[in-house]
Each structure stands twice: as C-alpha cells, then as structure tokens.
C-alpha cells in the first residue's frame, strides 16, 4: 500500500527576504522527494507569513485535524524549523502525531523517531531551531535600537500632523499640526479629552481646517475620538522624540510641541491620572459631587441651546432621574439647578470655610467606607492571584494549551496591576484619615483658598472641591407659587454644601 504523505511548508516574511527560500521552493523540493520515495501526496499545507514560534497557524491547525482523522501516514517538511522553532511546541506536535500513528520526516535532516536516539536527535534539532529564532530576534532588536538611537522612527505610520518623506524623516503638515497644537492648548487650559472630542465632533472650532477635522475626527465614534486625543497628548513624537519603549531619543523630525509646553502637558496629565472618573477633568466643577435632595440621585451637567438665535446656551445640573427632562420617563419632579448658581454657592461656601476652618469630626464615615473598599479589593486581588496559579499549573500539565492560557494570563496580570495600584491609593487615603491629603496639607490649603478662588484656575478649583467637598445637595423649595405650578426651571432651590470631616 502506497504511503500517503502530508507536505507542510512555512515561511515568515523576514525569513523569505533573508534566505530567499520561499514556500514554492519548499513545495517543489518536497514533491521531488515524494516522487523519489514513491509516496503519494495526500495534501499540501502552506503557512505563508506565520511565525514558527506559535501553534495558531491556519494550515498547521488543518494538518493536526487531518492527522486525527488519519488521512495520511507521514508528515514531510523541508527542515524541522519549518514545523516549529520552539522545542516545547515541537515535542507537543511530534507526540500528537505519534499518538495518531503518523510519522514525521525531514528532507534535509535524517532522523528516525521510532527509537530513543532518533527522538533525542529531533529534540536537538528543535533546540538549535529555537536558538536561531532567538538570535534572529536579538539581531532585529539591535537593528531597531540603532535606527531609533539615530533619530528615525520605527514601525509606525505618520500620525496626524506629519507625513512621510522619501528620505524617511517625517515633515510637518501645517493644517494638521494646528489641530494638534489646539488640542494641547485645550488640555493646558483645563479641559478634558471628552470635552475636546465633543468640540472636534461638532466641527465648530475657529481657526482650524474644517476639512482636516472632518477627515480625522468626523467618522469615528465619540469614544474613539476621546481615545485618540489621549493618545495624541501622551505621544512623545510630537515633542521631537523618537521613542523606544520607555526610552526617549532625540528625533530627526521637527517637533510640533515645544519642550516647555510638553513638560507642562505631562504634568497636567500626571495630576489627573489618580483622579476618579471625570471628577477632575469634567467641564462641570461639581461633577460626581452634586446630588438631588428630592430622590438622592446624582446630578449631571446638561447644556440646552438658546430659544432665540441671538440667545446663549444655558447649562444646568439636572437630576439623573428627573421626569421634567423631555423624552425621559423619570420618577423625580426636581428639574435641577442653573450651573452658575450651584457653583457660585459652592465657591461662597469655600470662602467661608477659609475663615472658619473645618471642625473636628467625632466620627468619620468616609474612613469606614474606605476600610470596606480595602477589604473588598484585597479579596479580589487574592482571587486574581489564585486564578493565575491555577493557569500556571494547567500550562505545566498541558503545554498545547499555551496560547489560550497565555492570553488569559496577560489579562489577569493587567487586572492584578490595576488592583494593586488602586489598593495602594486606598492605603494612602486610610493612612491620612480618609482624606486624600494629610491634615498639614489641608491646613495649608485652607490658607490658600482665597488666592485660588481669586485666580479661578479650573484645575485648582476642581482640586479644592475634590479635597474639601463631600457632596452638594440641591433641594427644591415648593413647586407652586400663588396657586399656580411653576416651570421646573423656575422652582427655587436650596443648596447645601457638606465638607469632608477631618
């Protein structure tokens, strides 16, 4: 009975460019070998542009399935490293073929896996294949490093603000660079990524090319534009650097953002990083601090267009469960409050606080809440670590699960880092008595409140609210006047400001 052979060919683009031994050339050699041996070709499996270090190759997956179906007697390759460049994967594949009664042969490397010496020789070939792969990676890394250290940017297309040139050095596109500088200016003025994205999506930005804005930011969703803006303001390329991981090297391209502005921008981003959600970057000063006195729900910022062409936009803090908002089936009759009125009440309360100071609290509910959050987060961290240990154990027992397990391990590692960072922040708050700053810093800030309020810096105002204000409660004071029902926006409101206890 004629031996049925499965021919497997693989090449990555780097190897093909370097060695010139393409998939077609491998296939011709394998067909000639089968003809000389008198073997029949059951099928040809080709993976072009796939790394030999991984098992998730489409043609290899099809070959493994056909081997389980016993559709051929032998797998033939040009060299062992075409099948796998990793010793553990090679051993897994050969064992799997052996269990299915399928032999494994190489045209250029004589070995016989039916006895121990042949299997040992095969393992040695796998070791050298893996060593060659690691050498290739090291040479590639060295080449990339030399390129970046010389000021060239590696492995990335030109972003907004630049275009490629024939000599490999990016040059500035003036219309696009103006958009990048405008985004940076907005960040430095205290506006967050969401606010900037909304302005770009509206297309109503004076002094900028509407065509560039439409091409770059018109089609994507708002969330995608927000992510892109955050990428722009943290990309060192715009400051004239050529990045390599965490390293920054002077680039040959011209900077769009000068060094001084770049440093201030990174300081702003660093100050915002530990802040919860949008309370630090929102256009609204009381974001995540203001609540409805009627139903206890959070209130959010809302803008309404003018009723007349010459009018102006009005801004409010609106109850999230208000039934007075058009198109919403809410359960609360409290519309909300004018934004200027609410924020002026809080600023006035901060001025009084600077004169009277914070009275000492006999109990601190915020600290109890932090203790509870710390216990929950520590339990979650233990759970993540336990799942990671289980996955490591599964990987040792079943090496063929490597790709799936490694993907899950990466996810758990990211979650572990996030939980560790959050837990460290909570520990710092607990050590300072539930406040985000120490009592000494609070005393200094109390003395500095009048100057900060006079300067009206958005970032510093938000920081004051975050540190001192626990919550702002808006109570409606009667929905009727003189027997008639008032318009929801005209209902008088009482604003109560509660401060964090010390």
Strands 299-304 and 314-319: antiparallel
| Vertex 105: Cα angle to 103 and 108 (nearest 5) | 175
| Vertex 206: Cα angle to 204 and 210 (nearest 5) | 60
For residue 329, the tally of other CB atoms under 10 A from its CB is 7
**Which tokens is 344 given?**
């002026």
Give the CA-trace dihedral at 358, 359, 364, 365, to 10 degrees.
-70
In three-state form (DSSP H/G/I as H, E/B as E, the rest C), the secondary structure along 4-21 is EEEEEEEECHHHHHHHCC
**Which tokens is 108 given?**
């250029």
> What is the rounded distance in angstroms from the CA atom of residue 440 to the CA atom of residue 438?
5
Q: Catalytic residue at 209?
A: no
> What is the rounded distance in angstroms from the CA atom of residue 161 to the CA atom of residue 216?
11
> What is the rounded distance in angstroms from the CA atom of residue 144 to the CA atom of residue 128?
24
Q: How far is CA 357 from CA 12, 468, 501, in A?
A: 69, 11, 11
Which candidate in 12, 106, 282, 287 is catalytic? 12
* Catalytic annotation, residues: 12
């Amino acid at each position: 009975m004629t031996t049925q052979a499965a021919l497997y060919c693989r090449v990555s683009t780097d190897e093909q460019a370097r060695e010139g031994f393409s998939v077609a050339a491998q296939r011709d050699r394998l067909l000639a070998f089968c003809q000389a041996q008198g073997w029949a070709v059951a099928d040809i499996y080709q993976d072009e542009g796939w790394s030999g270090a991984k098992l998730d190759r489409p043609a290899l997956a099809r070959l493994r399935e056909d081997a389980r179906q016993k559709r051929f007697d032998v797998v033939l390759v040009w060299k062992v490293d075409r099948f796998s460049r990793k010793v553990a994967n090679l051993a897994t594949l050969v064992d799997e073929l052996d269990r299915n009664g399928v032999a494994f042969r190489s045209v250029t490397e004589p070995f016989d896996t039916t006895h121990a010496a042949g299997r040992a020789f095969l393992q040695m070939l796998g070791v050298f294949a893996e060593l060659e792969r690691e050498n290739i990676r090291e040479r590639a890394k060295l080449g990339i490093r030399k390129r970046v250290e010389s000021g060239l940017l590696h492995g990335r297309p030109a972003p907004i603000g630049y275009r490629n040139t024939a000599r490999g050095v990016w040059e500035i596109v003036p219309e696009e660079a103006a958009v990048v500088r405008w985004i940076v200016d907005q960040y430095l003025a205290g506006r967050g990524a969401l606010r900037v994205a909304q302005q770009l999506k509206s297309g109503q930005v004076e002094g900028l090319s509407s065509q560039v804005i439409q091409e770059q930011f018109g089609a994507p969703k708002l969330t995608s534009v927000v992510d892109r803006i955050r990428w722009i303001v943290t990309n060192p390329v715009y400051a004239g650097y050529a990045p390599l991981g965490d390293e920054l090297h002077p680039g040959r391209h011209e900077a769009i953002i000068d060094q001084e502005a770049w440093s201030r921008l990174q300081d702003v981003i660093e100050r915002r990083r530990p802040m919860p959600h949008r309370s630090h970057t929102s256009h609204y000063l009381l974001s995540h601090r203001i609540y409805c006195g009627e139903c206890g729900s959070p209130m959010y910022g809302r803008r309404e267009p003018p009723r007349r062409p010459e009018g102006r936009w009005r801004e409010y803090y609106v109850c999230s469960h208000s039934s007075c908002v058009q198109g919403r089936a809410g359960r609360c009759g409290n519309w909300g409050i004018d934004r200027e009125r609410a924020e002026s009440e809080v600023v006035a309360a901060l001025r009084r606080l600077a004169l009277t100071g914070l009275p000492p609290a006999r109990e601190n509910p915020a600290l109890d809440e932090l203790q509870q959050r710390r216990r929950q987060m520590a339990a979650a961290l233990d759970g993540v670590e336990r799942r990671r240990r289980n996955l490591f154990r599964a990987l040792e027992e079943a090496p063929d699960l490597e790709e799936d397990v490694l993907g899950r391990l990466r996810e758990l590692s990211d979650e572990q880092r996030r939980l560790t960072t959050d837990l460290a922040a909570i520990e710092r708050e607990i050590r300072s008595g539930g406040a985000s700053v120490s009592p000494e810093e609070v005393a200094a800030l109390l003395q500095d409140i009048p100057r900060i309020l006079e300067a009206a810096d958005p970032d510093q105002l938000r920081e004051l609210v975050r540190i001192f204000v626990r919550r702002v409660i808006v109570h409606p004071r009667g929905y009727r006047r003189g027997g008639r029902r008032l318009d929801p926006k005209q209902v008088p409101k009482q604003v109560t400001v509660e401060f964090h206890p010390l």
